[in-house]
Structure 1
Amino acid sequence: MRKKEEYLNVKSSVVKTIFIVMSVLILISIGLTVTLYTFYGAYIEEKIASANTIIFGINTGLLGLMLITVAVLGPIVFYASKKMANPLVEMRKVAIAMSEGDFSVRAKGNYSGEIGQLAVTLNQLASELSSTINSLTIEGNLLRQILNSMSDGLLCFDMDQEISLKNSTFEKMFGVVNSIKDLKGDIYKETYKVSLAAIENLKTETATCIVNEKTILISASPILSEGDISVGTVVLFRDITEAARLEQTRRDYVANVSHELRSPLTAVKGLIIPLKEGMVKDDVKRRHFYDVIYNEIERLNRLVNDLFELSRLQSRKEPFDIQIVDVLNILYDQQDKFEILAKGKNICFTIEPRSSKIYAKGNIDRISQVLTILIDNALKFAKGVSKITLSAKSENGRVIIAVHNTGSSINNGDLKLIFDRFYKVDKSHKEEGAGLGLSIAKEIVTRMNGDIYVQSDGINETCFTFDLGSAK
């Protein structure tokens, strides 16, 4: 610290000498400046003024030259820049139109150099994109038509179970559904369950559900990516109500045929065994056994014939000979045929009188067969004092034939099933037939381009009616 203090001490001889020399030099400079300005100040100011005049002239010349240059070169530069920018602006418009989906816009291809090549490339891109988009649109419309023409409802789900695609059949089946949660009740639960199962198991899963008295088959299949990773599911909804009904009808048909065939065979077998073993000694009893066996065989024969007749009618291989027939004559023939039998059962058999002839298009033998079936049923099920009335009339270009009877009725629950094969209204009377007569009658009327239906008050009256084409 002592050495530093000595070094900074102004009183030291070296420092003192430096300060003195600097002060003298500053004073000399100031003196010289003042002296020079005193003697040469006017001269210097004159020279500076001349220099300013020269600089002003130079600046004025340069400014004029610049204005001339701008006036001459400005239009040239503007024209050149516009000519260079126009192709770029045009191609920008084409690009914007393409981004908005309009691929019909084209850039001019007559430009030279790289800009011309860019225009040609852009036009080719627009043409290819237009062709590609058009092909995709056609394929999309085709796919949409295929999906909408499907008889099955279709839904596509992503991994979040959100709907990504559906067809019109699905909307007809369940209404407009924007989310799987819009499906109500069991259909929602089953759809959700099979969709998740298809994703987890990577295979098709199925389930059935009852919706509004309809049986719906739900089939869900996974949608797989290239790496066999599930990215969603496609679910099909098929109305199998009719198929289920037909399957049940087939099962009932087989069961009924088996039952109807087994009953007479069992009866015949039960009677033949004691006859064979010689257990029946009484001739009267033996003849009674033979009568029962004969009746059961006749019953079996009628059943086989009815089955054959119904099968032949349903195959539609043999066309009917359609003619112009007198309906009233057919009714009177039926009256002659059943009048004695009706009197024996204390049943009044009448025909509603008509003042004019009624002609229909049909087959006389087949019309008689239908009437025989209907009248025979009326006679079988009539109870007590009853009446059977046959009638015919022309109405709206059709001939309507009716068999009306009192003394019997059909419950409302049986009306829609009355024409089914083997269906019996009175199930307790097994001897009254196999339940094929009305099925045969329906097939015959259908083959003659008609329809048959039944009405009953559920108490004491029943009316079977069928219609045929009028000959007039």
Structure 2
Amino acid sequence: MSRRVFWRILAPLMGLILLTLAGVTLYLSSLFYQNNLQRMQTYLLQEARLMRNLLMPLILEDPQNPQINQIVRESARLVGERITVVLADGRVVGESEKPLDQLENHLSRPEVQEALSNREAVEIRFSTTIGEEMLYVAIPVVSQNQQVVAVIRLAASMGAIRQEQQTLNGSLFIAALIAAAFAVLIAVWITRRVLAPLEKLSATAQQLAEHTGETARNEGDEIRRLQAAFQTMSEHLREQVSQLRAERQKLHSVLKNMKDGILLVDENGKISLINPAAAGMFGIEETRAIGASLIEAVRHHTIVELWERTRHSEQPQDGEVEVLPEHRFLQVVLTPLGKETGNATLLVFHDLTRERRVERVRRDFVSNVSHELRTPLASLKALVETLQEGALEDPPAAQRFLRQMEIEIDNLTQMVRELLELSRIESGLVPLQRRPVSPCEILRRGAERMRLQAERAGLTLQVDCPESLPEVFADAERVEQVLVNLTHNAVKFTPPGGEITLGVKQEGQAICFWVRDTGVGIPPEDLERIFERFYKTDRSRSGEGTGLGLSIARHIVETHGGRIWAESQVQQGSTFFFTLPLEK
């Protein structure tokens, strides 16, 4: 251990000890001085009150009575302090130190002035009469009419107090020197104890720094070498922590943005990691899932059985499950991660719901198309067979069969046309020709196209359109097609004598169109499915139509960025709404 390091630590410690002792000594000296001064003041005030009790009858009877001065001198010899009696006009009528004729008027004395204000006074000042610094106390003598008639004053020499204080200060100084000597010895012992392992610690820190690939500086004493070694290690650790933080952030970003769900389960079945996708699949908060058991989080026994099978066999497992109540289909792959991770298991969930729904839609589409084609084709086949069996020989019957065949062919042609139209809209092959257009203009054109058909059905067709509406940025022909499809449905399902109303209004930053009828209405269980392809309610199965009109309308509205829906009550009518945004 170098002497320089020893003194670098010991010198400040000694300085602190000496400053502390000096501060304590000064504080105690001041405290004792103030206590002695307060004690002397209290003593003088008590003696002054006794003198007032003794002299008050004489002063009130005759302030010039020589007996006052005699009593003052005798009392001063007993008390050992200077006593003075001063009248309200400043004349001295009693004095223990000098003859009365040698004393000047005392009215200007500060303590006398304060006592004449009917207050007890304390003053430390230099006495011109005695020729030294004195401690004065003065108390008033008050008559029966509450007038101050005289002042009793006692004085003590400050020299005695200061002499006593000097003696006390010497004792305190000696005690402080002794305490400082003991404190320095203790500081030396502590410093040696602290510095004893410093050199060994410095060597160890330097070796650790060298293991990081960098060499710490060897200059200076142990503290500087230790500081350099720790700085080298700190920089290396900071770099490693920064790298780990970056890697952790990358992993967090990957897990957060993955569409597949990720679960990490320890050997006890507790979840230690979950990403947002998995939390969304099972409807659980990430913070609640961490530390929860697998069965509590996924609430699916098939997944737990797959995990147990993976844990026992230490082989990957996979399966497919359906999660309720959302009817979500998930493919799960379980992979054991081995002893390096504490026998944890990684579960990866891939959402197959969209694929399963597409398969179901595809099956439904094929089934619906087959069904819709089967009816007109069967009708055509029956008509052809009837003609082949001899109906050709009957011209009126043959003409009737040919007209029916033409109707069935027209229905097939319309179905194919609407299927092609729906396919083109869904695939985006029909670009919208948007332009600013008046909502009322679209509404009136759609109403005029359907007015004749409504009149033939015995229905009243009305238009409700405020003229103050702003223009909407839309493909006018496509929006008109939506209105025609909705109005066609209203005409088809409204009995004669009913009423159909086409209207439009502004709702915030959108224009809302509606078609309201007084028809048979739609059952609640059918409302959410009427915009699906080929979907028909039981009432409409017997009527004409392909079941594609509402699906086409929905796709046109959604392509514009709008929304379409229906409200209905059975036997009271239906209202179809769709919105189009105002902005481009």
Q: Do both proteins adopt the same fold according to a TM-score greater than 0.5, normalized to the shorter chain?
A: yes
1:409-462 CA-partner distances (Å, limit 9, x unpaired): 112221111211111123652442121101111111222232222111333121
Aligned: 1:151 with 2:259? yes
In the alignment, does 2:371 pair up with 1:259?
yes
Post-superposition offset of 1:93: 7.6
CA shift, 1:303, in A, is 0.6
> Could you tell me whether the CA contact under 8 Å between 1:222 and 1:230 is conserved in 2?
no
Task: Say which is worse superposed, 162-171 or 360-369, in terms of deviation.
Answer: 162-171
Residue number among 202, 206, 210 corresponding to 2:319 in the alignment? 206
Aligned partner of 2:284 in structure 1 is: 174
User: 2:328 is matched with which residue?
Assistant: 215
AA of the residue aligned to 2:327: K
- CA distance in 1: counterparts of 2:506 and 2:297, whole angstroms: 51
Give the AA of the match of 2:261: G
Q: Report the CA distance between 1:230 and its aligned residue.
A: 10
- In the alignment, is the contact (CA less than 8 A) between 2:202 and 2:225 conserved in 1? no
Letter of the structure 1 residue corresponding to residue 475 of structure 2: N
> What SS does structure 2 have at the residue aligned with 1:231?
coil
Q: Deviations over 1:277-317 (max 9, x none)?
A: 54653222222221121111111110110011011111213
Within 2, Cα distance between the matches of 1:215 and 1:392? 39
Spell out, residue by residue over 1:192-216, the C-alpha distance to the aligned partner (whole angstroms, 9 max, x if none): 1111233455133113132232314
The answer to whether structure 1 residue 110 and structure 2 residue 218 are counterparts is yes
Partner of 2:114: none
Which amino acid in 1 is paired with 2:427?
Answer: S
Letter in 1 for 2:491: L
Instruction: Give the equivalent residue in structure 2 for 1:183.
Output: 295
Runs of 5+ in structure 2 lacking a partner? 1-189
How far does the alpha carbon of each residue in 1:41-90 deviate from its partner, in whole angstroms, 9 at most, with x for none? xxxxxxxxxxxxxxxxxxxxxxxxxxxxxxxxxxxxx9999988534344
Deviates more, 1:289-298 or 1:145-154: 145-154
User: Is the counterpart of residue 307 in structure 1 residue 415 in structure 2?
Assistant: no
Of residues 243, 250, 259 in structure 2, which corresponds to 1:135?
A: 243
User: Given that residues 510 and 581 in structure 2 are in contact (C-alpha distance below 8 angstroms), is that contact kept between their aligned partners in structure 1?
Assistant: yes
Greater alpha carbon shift after TM alignment, 372-381 vs 357-366 = 357-366
Counterpart residue number, 1:369? 481
Counterparts of residues 207-356 of structure 1 (less than 5 Å):
207-225=320-338, 231-278=343-390, 280-352=392-464, 354=466, 356=468
Q: Which residue of 1 aligns with 2:504?
A: 392
Match of 1:421 in 2: 533
| Identity between Structure 1 and Structure 2 (%) | 28
* Bigger mean CA deviation after superposition, 215-224 or 285-294: 215-224
Judge conservation of contact 1:385–1:407 (CA < 8 Å) in 2: no
Contact 1:198 1:205 survives alignment (8 Å): no
**Cα distance 1:427–1:409, how it changes in 2: closer, same or farther (>3 A)?**
closer
Moved more, 176-185 or 369-378: 176-185
Q: Distance in 1 between matches of 2:540 and 2:191?
A: 109
- Asked if the contact 2:513/2:577 (under 8 Å) is kept, the reply is yes
- Structure-2 separation of matches of 1:351 and 1:156: 62
Once the two structures are TM-superposed, the CA of residue 468 in structure 1 deviates from its matched residue by: 2.3
Counterpart residue number, 1:449: 561
Aligned with residue 163 of structure 1, among 271, 287, 309: 271
- Note the C-alpha offset of 1:365: 1.4
- CA distance in 2 between counterparts of 1:427 and 1:301 reads 23
- CA-to-partner distance for each residue in 1:369-396, whole Å, 9 max, x for gaps? 1111011100111124210011122332
**Does structure 1 conserve the Cα–Cα contact (< 8 Å) formed by 2:269 and 2:294?**
no
**1:138 shift after superposition:** 2.2
Provide closer, same or farther for how the CA distance between residues 326 and 178 of structure 1 changes in structure 2, counting only shifts above 3 A: closer
Q: Give me the CA root mean square deviation.
A: 4.0
Alignment check: 8 A CA contact 1:324 1:471 kept: no
Contact 2:205 2:230 survives alignment (8 Å): no
Instruction: Determine if the alignment matches structure 1 residue 193 to structure 2 residue 294.
Output: no
Task: Output the CA distance in 1 between the equivalents of 2:526 and 2:367.
Answer: 20
SS state at 2:473 partner: strand
Structure 1 gaps of 5+ residues are 1-77, 98-103
| TM-score, with structure 1 as normaliser | 0.71
Shift of 1:110: 1.7
1:108 Cα deviation from its structure 2 partner = 5.9
Q: Determine if contact 1:398/1:470 at 8 Å carries over to the other structure.
A: yes
Does the CA-based 8 Å contact 1:214-1:239 persist in structure 2?
no
Secondary structure of 1:195's aligned partner: helix
- Cross-structure match for 1:67: none
Distance 2:289 2:356 in 1: 26
- For 2:224 and 2:468, locate their aligned partners in 1 and report how far apart those are by CA, in whole Å: 94
Deviations 1:125-157 (A, max 9, x none): 665554444323322232122122222332122
CA distance in 1 between partners of 2:447 and 2:267 (Å): 74
Of stretches 170-179 and 316-325 in structure 1, the one that deviates more from structure 2 is 170-179
Map 1:64-79 to 2 at 5 A.
none
Aligned partner letter, 1:350 = Q
SS in 2 for 1:418: coil
Decide which moves more: 425-434 or 256-265.
425-434
Q: What residue in structure 1 maps to residue 133 of structure 2? A: none
Letter aligned with residue 284 of structure 2: F
1:17 counterpart residue number: none
| Aligned equivalents of 1:341, 1:223: Cα separation in 2 | 69
Number of aligned residue pairs: give it: 389
Partner of 2:90: none
> What amino acid sits opposite 1:156 in the alignment?
L
Alpha-carbon distance between aligned partners in 2 of 1:182 and 1:203, rounded to the nearest angstrom: 17
Contact 2:265 2:294 in 1 (8 A): no
CA contact (8 A) 2:472 2:511 kept: yes
